[in-house]
Amino acid sequence: MKQGLILLVLILGACSIDAQELTRQDTLRGSITSERAWWDLNHYDLNVKIEPSKKFISGYNVVRYKVLEEAKTLQIDLQEPMKIESIEQDGKKLKFTSEGNAHFIKLKKKQVPGEFNEVKITYSGQPREAVRAPWDGGFSWKQDKNGNPFVATSCQGLGASVWWPNKDHMYDEVDSMRISITVPKDLMDVSNGQLESVEEIGEFKTYNWVVKNPINNYGVNVNVGNYVHFDEVFEGEKGPLKLVYYVLPENLEKAKKQFVQTPMMLQAFEHWFGPYPFYEDGFKLVEVPYLGMEHQSSVTYGNKFENGYLGRDLSGTGWGLQFDFIIIHEAGHEWFANNITYKDIADMWIHEGFTAYSENLYLDYHFGTKASEAYVVGTRSNIQNDSPIIGPYGVNKSGSGDMYYKGANMLHTLRQLVEDDDKWRQILRGLNKDFYHKTVTTKEIEDYLSKHTGKDLSAFFNQYLRTTMIPTLEYTLEGDTIKFRYTDVVQDFDMPVRVFIDGSEKWLFPNSEWKTEKLDGTQVIFDKNFYIETKKI
């Protein structure tokens, strides 16, 4: 998700988990129920007709799946007020019962492990309208300056079942997808993947998009407008990658200038993270009537064709105005969100922590390490320490908005601990290679980082991901003798820190017990790249 610091804090503040009753609907939506666990997604064939004048959509989704275990009931999610009209398997109508947004299909055919089956769900309705896209999403029914419909979807957290029927849990992804969107014939739809064909039927046109890679549910999107486009080819690590830009006609010239940052982004992120993960599907940047979202291979853009975050620098250092926040941040998600995807939104830091961190790696690549350090350290002023980064599991709830910049500063601190930028880069590339197109848990990422840094990082991650405490290094200094210890730390937290003694680098190895050390000087400066507090007592 695109972060909107102030908005995000307000949203999270307004519905903190403590104040919220968790319901059975939360469990049906957020857990791997027995009606989900027995089948493995293989393919979606989604067909939707969009009628902007009526704010109405209708169509069907054919869900192909592999049977893992014999079962009789299959769960499909579709949120009210959307209505299921019929469900079929092999041409035979099936009965289903509904419990809120979860629908339980009674299968007639014997489900044999190893076999592939399909269910076709036909549906229609006026989908939930986005309240404040993309954070409080749904359909955005807008108009461009000339009065043409300008329509887009966004649904992270809320779930793709807000507008189409699917298995709405992130642990399972289809291996490929076809998205056929029918719109009034003077408009165009831009969805994920490559445009395979366009058919005109009466007053409508159908745009057939094909996605050849696994895709998560909230990444699937439709964008309908009076688009024009331009394109270019990026020569990347895996060969030529087609970049296509869709914008409204009045913004074409501005986009041609601003979007030169797209190949710059690819250069920087392929360097740090490895090849763009979806070469077969191409890369698109698509103008939308909201700020932006990491929709896979069709990243959406609404940052007014200017640098910063709607013109602002989130770091307060000036470096945030050296890049277009939405191009860099949302495209950074192609590696962390779309390639490596959380299984449970409680672990959303895997998307947002790494992607907020990617902003400073972009600066590092194009402007140098000093710029990158200043930026990421500057973003600390956005950290609230209101609640832990990791949220509750199994109920489709995310943790604190601190997953962005506290997450980024945790990773920046880890880069210091590794003390070898080539090795750190290989670890980041290794994550994208070893978890290529996979859904993961925080535990898998934590274990990977411990293994590949050669350090036991369990206390480190417990501290930063599971508490709101910032490690505080208390110290006294008498002449050339320093006494120091950590407070506000979890058990076994013993992260080393780099200090400068009269300008010379030295490492201290604090834990929660007082230690005394003689220094080669009397002036001590703590390296600000470590996300800790220091307190002279």
Q: What residues make contact with Zn ion under the rule CB under 5 A?
A: 1, 352, 355
For the bound state, the minimum distance from the C-beta of residue 255 to Zn ion, rounded and expressed in Å, comes to: 21
Q: Provide the residue count of the chain.
A: 537
| Closer residue to Zn ion (CB): 96 or 405 | 405
For the bound state, the minimum distance from the C-beta of residue 392 to Zn ion, rounded and expressed in Å, comes to: 21
For the bound state, the minimum distance from the C-beta of residue 399 to Zn ion, rounded and expressed in Å, comes to: 14
Placement of tokens 């200017």 in the chain? 306
Maximum distance among all Cα pairs of the chain, rounded to whole angstroms: 87
Is the torsion defined by CA of 436, 437, 440, 442 positive or negative? positive
| Closer residue to Zn ion (CB): 353 or 510 | 353
Is residue 376 packed enough to be buried (19+ CB in 10 Å), middle (13-18) or exposed (0-12)? buried
For the bound state, the minimum distance from the C-beta of residue 330 to Zn ion, rounded and expressed in Å, comes to: 7
Q: Which two tokens stand for residue 1?
A: 């998700």
| Closer residue to Zn ion (CB): 96 or 357 | 357
- What is the rounded distance in angstroms from the CA atom of residue 259 to the CA atom of residue 253? 10
| Closer residue to Zn ion (CB): 355 or 372 | 355
- What is the rounded distance in angstroms from the CA atom of residue 481 to the CA atom of residue 350? 41
Bridge partner list, 200: 205
For the bound state, the minimum distance from the C-beta of residue 348 to Zn ion, rounded and expressed in Å, comes to: 9
- What is the rounded distance in angstroms from the CA atom of residue 537 to the CA atom of residue 534? 10
Residue 346's CB is within 10 A of a number of other CB atoms, namely 21
| Closer residue to Zn ion (CB): 289 or 401 | 401
- HSE on the CB side for 303, CA within 13 Å? 30
Sequence-separated (6 or more) residues with CB below 8 Å from residue 152 = 133, 139, 140, 142, 221, 222, 223, 224, 288, 289, 290, 300
- What is the rounded distance in angstroms from the CA atom of residue 520 to the CA atom of residue 517? 10
Helix axes 405-418 and 421-434, enclosed angle (nearest 10)? 120
For the bound state, the minimum distance from the C-beta of residue 467 to Zn ion, rounded and expressed in Å, comes to: 23
AA letter at 492: D
User: Between β-strands 481-487 and 472-478, what pairing exists: parallel, antiparallel or unpaired?
Assistant: antiparallel
| Closer residue to Zn ion (CB): 164 or 404 | 404
For the bound state, the minimum distance from the C-beta of residue 443 to Zn ion, rounded and expressed in Å, comes to: 22
| Closer residue to Zn ion (CB): 324 or 352 | 352
Contact 272, 301 (CB under 8 A): no
For the bound state, the minimum distance from the C-beta of residue 280 to Zn ion, rounded and expressed in Å, comes to: 24
For the bound state, the minimum distance from the C-beta of residue 334 to Zn ion, rounded and expressed in Å, comes to: 11
276 by DSSP, 3-state: which?
Answer: coil
- What is the rounded distance in angstroms from the CA atom of residue 210 to the CA atom of residue 307? 32
| Closer residue to Zn ion (CB): 344 or 352 | 352
| Closer residue to Zn ion (CB): 1 or 266 | 1
